[in-house]
Amino acid sequence: MVLKDWLLLSRIPFLSVMIFPYLLGSLLAARALGALNLSVLFFGLWGAVLVQLVSHYSGEVYDIEEDRLSITLEKNFFTGGSQVLVENRISKKNVKIIIGAVVLLALAIGCMLQFYFKTGKWTLVLGLSGIICGLFYSKPPLRWVAKGWGELVIAYTFGWLAVNAAYYIQTGRFDILPALVSIPVSCAVVNIILINEYPDYPADKLTAKDNLLVRIGKKNGALLYASLVIITAATFFLALNCGLSYISAVIYCPVLIISVIVAGRMLKGVYNDRQKLEKMCLMTILISLGTSLSLILGVLIK
Sign of torsion over alpha carbons 86, 90, 96, 100: negative
pLDDT (tens digit per residue) in 165-191: 999 999 999 999 999 999 999 999 999
What is the distance of C-alpha 254 from the center of its chain? 21
Give me the average pLDDT of each 10-residue run along the chain (302 residues).
84 93 97 94 97 95 86 73 86 94 97 97 97 95 92 96 98 96 97 94 89 96 98 93 84 96 98 94 96 93 76
Question: Which residues have C-beta within 8 Å of that of residue 282, sequence separation ≥ 6?
Answer: 77, 78
Cα angle: 22, vertex 25, 197; to 5 degrees: 45
Cα–Cα dist 16/270, whole Å: 27
Closest alpha carbon to 147 in 197, 80, 92, 208: 208
Burial class (CB in 10 A: 0-12, 13-18, 19+), 81: buried
End-to-end CA gap in the chain = 46
Residue-range domain boundaries for the chain: 2-301
Q: What is the CATH number of domain 2-301?
A: 1.10.600
Cα–Cα dist 31/298, whole Å: 11
Cα–Cα dist 204/234, whole Å: 32
pLDDT at 75: 67
Cα–Cα dist 42/29, whole Å: 14
pTM for this structure? 0.94
pLDDT at 71: 75
One-letter-per-residue 3-state SS of the chain: CHHHHHHHHHCHHHHHHHHHHHHHHHHHHHHHHCCCCHHHHHHHHHHHHHHHHHHHHHHHHHCHHHHHHHHHHCCCCCCCCCCCCCCCCCCHHHHHHHHHHHHHHHHHHHHHHHHHCCCCCCHHHHHHHHHHHHHHCCCCCCCHHHCCCHHHHHHHHHHHHHHHHHHHHHHCCCCHHHHHHHHHHHHHHHHHHHHHHHHHHHHHHHCCCCCHHHHHCHHHHHHHHHHHHHHHHHHHHHHHHHCCCCHHHHHHHHHHHHHHHHHHHHHCCHHHCHHHHHHHHHHHHHHHHHHHHHHHHHHHHC
pLDDT at 302: 67
pLDDT (tens digit per residue) in 100-149: 999 999 999 999 999 999 999 999 999 999 999 999 999 999 999 999 89
Question: Which residues have C-beta within 8 Å of that of residue 214, sequence separation ≥ 6?
Answer: 197, 201, 204, 205
Closest alpha carbon to 133 in 254, 74, 125: 125
Closest alpha carbon to 114 in 179, 46, 43: 43
